[in-house]
């Protein structure tokens, strides 16, 4: 599925809609829900994550974790906006792998355990840099810079 957004607000709106869909998911996942975000610098990945996190009902601001690599948000502390208000997910992890060369660089951060835990949502910017640690089943979102204000956002399944 491909969507063109005409400004960052639109990208955040799409991300909020997507968050709603994720909360409504009634699948029997055994592992974390992993969302792999790819696209050049400035393509809109962090903007999308900000909208997504807002869409989950989180009030705190999500900055770009470029210098942190990984940021954790405890979702159960927020009122998740799913219909029956059940905390389907407990934690959200936001990673920025811009500076990483391989998935091995994430092993010290216990990424394997994080991905094994079905109560986690894991959003990974620059996922293509850490392919070796990505699970087979993931939601892939590719961002493309079209011009100053337009971005193409493509949703698909798998690596």
Under the binding rule (CB under 6 A), the answer on residue 42 touching ligand ADP is: yes
Under the binding rule (CB under 5 A), the answer on residue 8 touching Mg ion is: no
Under the binding rule (CB under 5 A), the answer on residue 45 touching Mg ion is: yes
Under the binding rule (CB under 6 A), the answer on residue 39 touching ligand ADP is: yes
For the segment 109-138, give every residue that binds ligand ADP (CB under 6 A). Answer: 125
CB 37 within 8 A of CB 48: yes
Three-state SS at 75: helix
Angle, helices 8-24 vs 45-55, to 10°: value is 50
CB 131 within 8 A of CB 103: yes
| Token duo for residue 42 | 């400035």
> What sign does the CA torsion over 48, 153, 79, 95 have?
negative
Q: Which residue has the tokens 């989180």?
A: 58
Nearest CA to 14 among 159, 153, 157, 158? 153
Which residue, 105 or 150, has its beta carbon nearer to ligand ADP? 150
Fill in the per-residue mask, 61 to 90: x = in contact with Mg ion (CB under 5 A), - = not in contact: ---x--------------------------
Q: How far is the CB of 43 from ligand ADP (least distance, A)?
A: 4
Give the interface segment with Mg ion, choosing from 3-11, 72-80, 124-132, 145-153 (CB under 5 A). 124-132
Among 18, 32, 38, 45, binds ligand ADP (CB under 6 A): 45
Contacting residues toward ligand ADP, per CB under 6 A: 5-8, 10-11, 39, 41-47, 64, 125, 143, 149-151
């Amino acid at each position: 599925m491909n969507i063109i957004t005409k400004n960052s607000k639109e990208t955040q709106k799409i991300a909020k809609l997507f968050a709603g869909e994720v909360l409504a998911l009634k699948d029997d996942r055994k592992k974390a829900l992993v969302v792999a975000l790819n696209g050049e610098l400035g393509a809109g990945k962090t903007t999308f994550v900000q909208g997504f996190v807002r869409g989950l009902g989180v009030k705190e601001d999500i900055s770009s974790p470029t210098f942190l690599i990984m940021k954790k948000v405890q979702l159960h502390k927020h009122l998740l906006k799913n219909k029956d208000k059940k905390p389907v997910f407990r934690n959200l992890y936001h990673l920025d792998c811009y500076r990483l060369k391989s998935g091995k660089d994430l092993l010290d951060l216990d990424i394997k355990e994080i991905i094994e835990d079905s109560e986690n949502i894991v959003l990974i910017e620059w996922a293509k840099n850490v392919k070796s640690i990505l699970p087979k089943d993931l939601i892939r979102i590719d961002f493309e810079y079209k011009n100053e204000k337009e971005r193409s956002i493509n949703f698909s399944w798998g690596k």
